Structure 1
Amino acid sequence: MRHNPFILGGEEIPRGTQRRVEIELPSFYGTPTSLTAYVIRGKKAGPTVFISAAIHGDELNGIEIIRRLRQLHLLTKLKGTLILVPIVNIYGAINLSRYLPDRRDLNRSFPGHSKGALASRLAKTFFDEIVSQCDLGIDLHTASIHKDNLPQVRTNIDNEYTLRLAYAFEAPVILHSELRDGSLRAVAQDKGIPILLYEAGEALRLDEKSIKIGVKGIINVLRANEMLPVRVKKSSRIKPVLTKTSKWIRAHESGMIQTIKQLGDVVEEGDIIARIHSLFDDQSYEVAAPFDGIIIGKTQIPLIHEGDAAFHIAALKDIQIAEERMEPFHQDETLMEIPMVDERIV
């Protein structure tokens, strides 16, 4: 837990106040550029948590999640400090690009260096100014371009604290995720700062269901972290599907892909999940599930080449339980509703 004084971007922010802070970044071809952060400080002491989006500049769902989150009156009852960063990679967002102008991936550039390339400098500023001040982070992502992800939380499920918060989030799936060199999550973990990664939807698109699950999930995590009051009336809870391993299924032929199974579908080993039709003759090829699992990602481009990633499947041990837990995601959007302003809380 962090203590007073709380300083961000050289500005001291007292308890019980809200501020928009602009942190100077390297100029964009001579144009002054800054990292925008919204700081909400409760009157009472508590953990410091950051919520970040658009580390990849074309991942837009997280930007909208943070916009809606900022408007919730419920945050006036916050205990501790919340830092909201709607666009980390402002350079990529300007160009609707996943990467920075030099084609570097910001999420492979941490912890960064003050005299490094643009990605390295941005990584260092974001980490030093914001991440290093926090006890927990939630990083919002989508699939890469031309792919779609089922809403899911990725974290280290061997960590009891992050696993408890991942369950609290109530996304359909929790996936154990190994750390990658240079990623925000890897460097933060080395510094003792756990991070939940929320993956949902497509790049350059807004998906309403993914956004609603994301907003509600963040509120759930803040409640589980004792930063927001609990609800008097318990709502129906979604119990996520927990999975430890996943694999991208790649096309073994080229052609036009006809998908049969969709995101969130539970499949058994041998189930036909797609057919690939040859472009130059009448041949068709079946794509089968190699193991029991749930589809958590898929390509959105009908034209596919041999070796392309087509479906991302998370492995399951119990299909029946998974099917039962996926029913709310497929059928009941009311379970994604966020608390209203006048909701009774204690």
Structure 2
Amino acid sequence: MGVEAENRIITINGETISPGQASLVRMGISRLPTGTLIDIPVHVFNGKKAGPTVLVQAGLHGDEINGVETLRRMLQEDVFNIRKGAVIVVPILNIFGFIHFSRDVPDGKDVNRSFPGTKTGSLASRIAHTYTSEILPQVDFGIDLHTGGSQRDNFPQIRYSAQDAKSKELAEIFNAPFYFASRQINGSFRKTTFKMGIPTIVFEAGESMRFDEKSIQKGMDGIQNVLVGLGMLSKKGGVKQKKSIHLGRTRWVRAPRAGMFVPETKNGAQVIKGQVLGLVTDTYAKKNKKIKAPFDGHVFCINNQAVVNQGDALFHIGSTEPINLNK
């Protein structure tokens, strides 16, 4: 999957990065009440030869730190020493949320529900607007790194847009353990890039505010797979990777009652219909309810919340059969 492009100059925040150059640009977005400037660090690697421009970002939700660490390591190891095209790397998009260990910005709004944003809107909307107008017009492909929220642990997975065949190709090249189509959410980064004609995938792995080594490594491997697949890096050698499993249908299994939640299966496990995934029990050991798999498939997310309410999402499972069971 290639993009024909001439050698291009990348321009961000008034700073230009010519072919063959690399630079760290700080894109100012706002100030704290103390007057301290808050800016988004943007690393740009512009190859000498023509090729596509790929945006790789993390920290759109400030408490989702696995992606931040993934890109930090890749920067430290000089992985983005590309031979053609350009890579724009944004390790922390939501600086405010990162500082406050929060998903959102101080006004309580979610930046990933505020795209494409407006110049005079809320803080979240202004961040989205600056990003959409400054960076996205120069991008051909996007990779957005996330984790599960609210104590949900996502097994490494890629989500793509069913309406965009190129995003599915990108998902296959990334080669996470699982990949599947998911709906575009209004105001999200991925929906905005879709409207702009930029194939984008979302890598979900781990949970918020907790490092997970496997998730970090899978993210690093997947990003490099994409850069190799686009001809921007030389082919990787070493261990042959297992082929990604495509999930044709997914479904949340929810708590049948309130109580203490005890999972009895591991994240990423293959399960069969009727298999006990866990149980919800009261605190007096008088009553418990077994939670069973509704079909053969794979568990790709587990809720690590120990005390749950009726209807809470506990297990996300998917099957390779192409039937939509989303609820």
TM-score of the superposed pair, with normalisation by structure 2: 0.93
Deviations 1:70-97 (A, max 9, x none): 1334533431111110110111111000
Which residue of structure 2 aligns with residue 33 of structure 1? 38
Which residue of structure 2 aligns with residue 81 of structure 1? 86
Which residue of structure 2 aligns with residue 8 of structure 1? 12
1:18 is displaced (CA, Å) by: 1.1
- Tell me how far apart the structure 2 counterparts of residues 75 and 51 of structure 1 sit (CA, whole Å): 11
SS in 2 for 1:4: coil
Which residue of structure 1 aligns with residue 151 of structure 2? 146
SS in 1 for 2:172: helix
RMSD: 1.6
Aligned: 1:95 with 2:94: no
Which residue of structure 1 aligns with residue 300 of structure 2? 296
Which residue of structure 2 aligns with residue 188 of structure 1? 193
Which residue of structure 1 aligns with residue 319 of structure 2? 315
SS in 2 for 1:50: strand
Which residue of structure 1 aligns with residue 25 of structure 2? 21
Q: Which has the higher strand share?
A: 2
- The answer to whether the 8 Å contact 2:45/2:82 transfers is no
- The answer to whether the 8 Å contact 1:153/1:171 transfers is yes
Deviations 1:171-214 (A, max 9, x none): 10001111111111111111101111000001001110100010
1:128 is displaced (CA, Å) by: 1.4
Matched residue type, 1:79: K
1:237 is displaced (CA, Å) by: 2.7
Aligned: 1:199 with 2:204: yes
- The answer to whether the 8 Å contact 1:2/1:134 transfers is no
Matched residue type, 1:184: F
Alignment size in residue pairs: 317
Aligned: 1:230 with 2:235: yes
- Counterpart among 39, 58, 65 of residue 60 in structure 1: 65
- Counterpart among 208, 213, 228 of residue 208 in structure 1: 213
Pair 1:3–1:115, CA change in 2 (3 A): farther
1:161 is displaced (CA, Å) by: 2.5
SS in 2 for 1:55: coil
Q: Which has the higher helix share?
A: 1
- Tell me how far apart the structure 1 counterparts of residues 279 and 239 of structure 2 sit (CA, whole Å): 41
> What pairs up with 1:254-333 in 2 under 5 angstroms?
254-317=258-321
- The answer to whether the 8 Å contact 1:17/1:42 transfers is yes
SS in 2 for 1:168: helix
Which residue of structure 2 aligns with residue 44 of structure 1? 49
SS in 1 for 2:211: coil
- Tell me how far apart the structure 2 counterparts of residues 219 and 4 of structure 1 sit (CA, whole Å): 22
- Tell me how far apart the structure 2 counterparts of residues 103 and 78 of structure 1 sit (CA, whole Å): 42
Which ranges in structure 1 are unaligned for 5 or more consecutive residues?
319-346
Which residue of structure 1 aligns with residue 325 of structure 2? none
> What pairs up with 1:152-163 in 2 under 5 angstroms?
152-157=157-162, 159-163=164-168
Pair 1:106–1:2, CA change in 2 (3 A): farther
- Tell me how far apart the structure 1 counterparts of residues 112 and 146 of structure 2 sit (CA, whole Å): 11
Aligned: 1:107 with 2:104: no
- Tell me how far apart the structure 1 counterparts of residues 79 and 29 of structure 2 sit (CA, whole Å): 32
Deviations 1:216-243 (A, max 9, x none): 1100001111111224x57413211101
SS in 1 for 2:256: coil
- Tell me how far apart the structure 1 counterparts of residues 285 and 10 of structure 2 sit (CA, whole Å): 67
- The answer to whether the 8 Å contact 2:9/2:16 transfers is yes
